[in-house]
Structure 1
Amino acid sequence: MALSPSKPISVYVFDAYGTLFDVHAAVRKNAEGLGPDAQRLSELWRQKQLEYSWIRAMMNRYQDFWTLTEQALDTAFAMVGTADKSMRQTLLDAYWQLDCYPEVPIVLKGLKDRGAKLAILSNGSPAMLEGAVKAAGLDEVFDAVLSVDALKTYKTNMEVYEMATTEFRVFPEAISFQSSNRWDVAGATAFGFRTVWINRTGNPDEYSDLAPAAVLQDLNGLLTLA
């Protein structure tokens, strides 16, 4: 599905993990050393990482995203008994330099060449985001890299999405927000952004009352929507 925005879009805001950066790259690169259940480990690592962020936000007991990433990996190891726990530090080191998806640099450059402002709005800690952006060679692309760490909470708290409107001094409808996480798209839609769900894995839709303006398989379609 692809719908044209009803009003001009001047700012493109991207979720980072799963949208720009492949969260499973760290395990995939080390799968042979981890054993036969490496994929299961990676899925649990991501699942627990997000779960911990939601629970922490609801309890108002903030810990930064790197701490949650470490805790989530430890839980994943505990749940996957076949995985080699000696690989823990190797996986954590790899997470600082996750691969970006192949189309990301081209699409971001295309939007930038059209005069759009670009930003990341992420649960990631500032240091994590700096490392990922630098490793992907995207240092000069973004006008802002916004971390929830400034607010000490997590998505889908409405204050998080407000960081983007405050940064660029625009109304929500002037922002196109892209995320691979359907729950994140729901939160951004509730806030008032024009939202685009990057459904890389072909998941079924959820949150029917908070539908995105468009659903794309990857970021390439943004150049057509723009």
Structure 2
Amino acid sequence: MENREDAVRGVKALMFDFYGTVVDMQRGLTEAIAPYLAAKGYTANPPSRVVTWWRRTHFENSMIDALLHREHTPYREIGRQAVHYTLDRAGIEHTDEEVRGLVSQIERLKPFPDVVDALSDIKAHGLDLVILSNGDVDMLASGVPYSGTEHLWDRVISVAEAKSFKPHADTYRTGARLMELEPEQVLFVANHAFDCVGAKAAGMKTAFIDRRKRPFGNSTYPPDLVVEDLAHLAQMVMRGRAGSGLTADR
């Protein structure tokens, strides 16, 4: 792993995953589904476990879609497929309208507590902040303002512009191109190892947010930084910028 000066040297933008890195997806969806499960009389598993099934199925289906690299399936549709499967697995009778209502909760997620202050500190040091998300354009247009972080971003990019879900290489290359940057000028930030691996393989520098205290698990494309949360990331970036003689004026 590089030291912190090397990790930010030449970087002009920090590009963030949104769901699970900026906003707390597990907690938000658990709070959303809990009353639904209670109304259905479902007690076989806690709401958090049902959400884990939901998210894992969504992830698997989006990876299949990316590997096929044919016509891009919208994130919302992948979500509906995942929720239908999850409720079927749990033996819960449900309607299409109920599924649509649960999936819509993805647009109503709050950020982790450290996010707003950390992003504000990083932005004050002259770096552009960008979202590169698997979410659909319209979902991000609702979800980013709801998170209260809208004012911090220089650009919000949906992978729909690359027509493939992360970690397909086209997504990261498209993100860099839209920012008029080379991949090596971007530090990609994610709470998910697969996202960091994809970005690193595409030529970006990467920062792994190890909120869950788990091994990264890939020695071929290791992250350039491993931090506890975004507050820790902000400290590392600011120290690295100072050590490189860079200021807010770039």
Instruction: Give TM-score, length-normalised by structure 1.
Output: 0.92
Query: Does the C-alpha gap of structure 1 residues 150 and 125 become closer, same or farther in structure 2, counting only changes over 3 Å?
Result: same
Q: Is the 8 A contact 1:2 1:225 kept in 2?
A: no
Q: Could you tell me how far 1:93 is from its partner in structure 2? A: 3.0
State the alpha-carbon separation in 2 of the partners of residues 3 and 122 from structure 1: 27
Aligned ranges for residues 144-155 of structure 1 at < 5 Å? 144-155=155-166
- 2:109 equivalent to 1:98: yes
Q: Could you tell me how far 1:32 is from its partner in structure 2? A: 4.3
State the alpha-carbon separation in 2 of the partners of residues 202 and 77 from structure 1: 29
Task: State the partner residue of 1:31.
Answer: 34
Task: State the partner residue of 2:11.
Answer: 9
Q: Pick one of 120, 131, 135 that aligns with 2:146.
A: 135
Q: Is the 8 A contact 2:136 2:159 kept in 1?
A: yes
Task: State the partner residue of 2:75.
Answer: 65
Aligned ranges for residues 137-216 of structure 1 at < 5 Å? 137-216=148-227
Q: Is the 8 A contact 2:76 2:103 kept in 1?
A: no
Gaps of 5+ in 1: none
Query: Does the C-alpha gap of structure 1 residues 58 and 89 become closer, same or farther in structure 2, counting only changes over 3 Å?
Result: closer
Q: Is the 8 A contact 2:12 2:185 kept in 1?
A: yes
Task: State the partner residue of 2:56.
Answer: 47
Provide the aligned length of Structure 1 versus Structure 2: 225
Q: Could you tell me how far 1:62 is from its partner in structure 2? A: 2.0
Deviates more, 1:161-170 or 1:172-181: 161-170
Instruction: Give TM-score, length-normalised by structure 2.
Output: 0.83
State the alpha-carbon separation in 1 of the partners of residues 203 and 197 from structure 2: 10
Q: Could you tell me how far 1:2 is from its partner in structure 2? A: 7.9
Higher alpha-carbon Rg: 2
Query: Does the C-alpha gap of structure 1 residues 56 and 162 become closer, same or farther in structure 2, counting only changes over 3 Å?
Result: same
Task: State the partner residue of 2:124.
Answer: 113
In percent, how many aligned pairs have the same letter? 27
State the alpha-carbon separation in 2 of the partners of residues 103 and 29 from structure 1: 22
Q: C-alpha deviations, 1:69-115, integer Å up to 9, x for none?
A: 1111111111122x574753442232211111111111111111111
Q: Is the 8 A contact 1:103 1:219 kept in 2?
A: yes
Aligned ranges for residues 81-92 of structure 1 at < 5 Å? 81=91, 85=94, 88-92=99-103
Gaps of 5+ in 2: 238-250
SS at match of 1:210: coil
Task: State the partner residue of 1:21.
Answer: 23
State the alpha-carbon separation in 2 of the partners of residues 30 and 157 from structure 1: 30
SS at match of 2:4: coil
Query: Which 4+ stretches in 1 moved above 4 angstroms?
Result: none
State the alpha-carbon separation in 2 of the partners of residues 137 and 8 from structure 1: 29
SS at match of 1:223: helix
What RMSD, in angstroms, separates the aligned Cα atoms of the two structures?
1.9
State the alpha-carbon separation in 1 of the partners of residues 75 and 134 from structure 2: 6
State the alpha-carbon separation in 1 of the partners of residues 89 and 30 from structure 2: 15
SS at match of 1:8: coil
